[in-house]
Amino acid sequence: MRWRNLIVPCLAVALAAAPVVPFNAYAATRQTTFTVTLTLQTDCQISATNLNFGTSGVIAANIDQTSTLTVTCSNGAPYTVGLDAGSVTGSTVANRLLGGTGTPVPTVAYQLYRDSARSLTWGQTVGTDTAAGTGTGAAQTLTVYGRVAPQNTPAAGTYTSTVTATVTF
Angle (nearest 5°) at CA 132 between 85 and 124: 20
Cβ–Cβ < 8 Å for 71, 133: yes
d(CA 39, CA 37): 7
d(CA 110, CA 105): 16
pLDDT per residue, tens digit, the chain (169 aa), is: 454 555 555 445 555 555 555 555 679 999 999 999 999 999 999 999 999 999 999 999 999 999 999 999 999 999 999 999 999 999 999 999 999 999 899 999 999 999 999 999 999 999 999 999 999 999 999 999 999 999 999 999 999 999 999 999 9
Residues near 129 by beta carbon (within 8 Å), at least 6 away in sequence: 82, 93, 114, 120, 121, 122, 123
Angle (nearest 5°) at CA 130 between 129 and 133: 140
What domains sit in the chain, N to C, each tagged with a CATH number? 44-49+60-168 (2.60.40.1090)
